[in-house]
Amino acid sequence: MNSITIRRPDDWHLHLRDETLLETTVPHTAEVFHRAVVMPNLVPPVTTVAAALSYRERIMAQVGAEQRFDPRMALYLTGETSVEEIKKAAAEEKVIGFKLYPSGATTNSASGVKSVEALAPVLEVMQAHGVPLLVHGEVTDADIDIFDREKVFIERHLIPITQQFPALKLILEHITTGDAVDFVTSAHDNVAATMTPQHLLMNRNHLLVGGVRPHNYCLPILKRREHQERLQKAALSGNPKFFLGTDSAPHVKANKETACGCAGCYSAPAAIELYAEFFSQHDALDKLENFSSVFGAQFYDLPLNDEYLTLTQQTWQVPEQVDTATGPIVPYYAGETLHWKRA
């Protein structure tokens, strides 16, 4: 097989940041993906429908005239999120749901939720109005090992939520463990998960062996090979509960290569090629279209895209860095060889 044509994909988990960085991040995604779920962890966070629509306008200002790009905005869930705001979100097509960040779990999450249990009244309203809950699933207790944070969050919070609110659509973002695969697989049909290229292509050896690799550092952190293999098996299974979400997260080189580097892999410059690399490595390119272009749209009850994208088999290298108005960014897989490229 020298080429493959798939329905145009969607990215169901994306960070674009704001201001001048949008000049770089938006085109990288808009030229490939039709829809993208845009994360709200700006400073200050995007907590209202009005703020989300304003942010969306700034994003759309960077979309080329020939491009069809439809960002769907996530709102930042806090302890102060009101019933009125949930109803506004339910009525606004361009708002896809609320993002639950445990306080301190990742970049710009200081305003996140401190008590998941206290969210019950809010989740009840979200369930009643059909508003999805997007979850960064990690506990932040200082005594919990960083490699166990996802597992403990599932046991402590997500299983009770899905039992108490069975009609609530819940997306466990950027899953990293076999525990997450088991949870999503065994949960009811309103539960799904997104998968990143880094968690499919790498394990914690790629972060730590031979020295710390800051550009492979993300949260949730890369796990053992056995967990990577469980993720791979789930992605290759054709189970519609698992679909593409890059979690592409840009940080300038200076903020990654420092004594306390930022978490996040900027995969957008080669996102669909990275997924194609993974599926090709497992002789499963026939599974790429459903994973990237069908299952997510179906879960969110959205129409499938009517445009197509062709990938051809050719060897190329991911650029060593991407220049931006705020400084150079080292993309995920920088300098590495890929074997599929958009035509």
Cα–Cα separations (whole angstroms), residue 62 to 14, 281, 327: 16, 34, 18
Q: Which two tokens stand for residue 152?
A: 């403990």
Q: In 288-327, which ranges are E strands?
A: 308-317
Residues 187 and 184: their CA atoms lie apart, in Å, by 5
pLDDT digits (tens, 9 = 90+) for 94-134: 999 999 998 766 665 666 677 888 899 999 999 999 999 99
Quick one: 103 exposed, middle or buried, by C-beta within 10 A (0-12, 13-18, 19+)? Answer: middle
Query: How do the pLDDT tens digits run along the chain, 343 residues long?
Result: 799 999 999 999 999 999 999 999 999 999 999 999 999 999 999 999 999 999 999 999 999 888 899 999 999 999 899 999 999 999 999 999 999 998 766 665 666 677 888 899 999 999 999 999 999 999 999 999 999 999 999 999 999 999 999 999 999 999 999 999 999 999 999 999 999 999 999 999 999 999 999 999 999 999 999 999 999 999 999 999 999 999 999 999 999 999 999 999 999 999 999 999 999 999 999 999 999 999 999 999 999 999 999 999 999 999 999 999 999 999 999 999 999 999 9
Instruction: Please pick, among 10, 18, 247, 286, the residue that the annotation labels catalytic.
Output: 247
Which residues make up each annotated binding site for Zn(2+)?
Answer: 13, 15, 99, 136, 174, 247
| Continuous segment of H or E residues that includes residue 233 | helix 225-236
**Is 247 labeled as catalytic in the residue annotation?**
yes
pLDDT digits (tens, 9 = 90+) for 30-56: 999 999 999 999 999 999 999 999 999
pTM for this one?
0.96
Upper half-sphere CA count for residue 70 (Cβ side, 13 Å): 15
Which residues make up each annotated binding site for substrate?
Answer: 15-17, 41, 136, 219, 251, 263
| Amino acid identity, position 161 | I
Quick one: DSSP state of residue 63? S
Which residues make up each annotated binding site?
Answer: 13, 15-17, 41, 99, 136, 174, 219, 247, 251, 263
Q: Which two tokens stand for residue 90?
A: 């339910």
Residues 317 and 308: their CA atoms lie apart, in Å, by 24
| 3-state SS assignment for residue 30 | helix
Q: In the chain, which ranges are E strands?
A: 3-7, 11-14, 35-38, 70-76, 95-100, 133-135, 170-172, 191-195, 242-244, 308-317, 337-342
Contact partners, residue 129, CB within 8 Å, separation at least 6: 86, 87, 90
174 C-beta neighbours (distance < 10 Å), count: 25
Paired sense of beta strands 337-342 and 308-317, if any: antiparallel
| Continuous segment of H or E residues that includes residue 135 | strand 133-135
The answer to whether the bond into 44 is cis (omega within 30° of 0) is yes
Question: Helices (DSSP H) in 61-119: which residue ranges?
Answer: 83-91
Q: What is the dihedral of CA 42, 47, 51, 53, to 10 degrees?
A: 100
Degrees, nearest 5: CA angle 325-331-334: 130
| 3-state SS assignment for residue 73 | strand
CB 181 within 8 A of CB 175: yes
Q: Mind listing the domains of the chain with CATH numbers?
A: 9-307 (3.20.20.140)
CB 96 within 8 A of CB 171: no
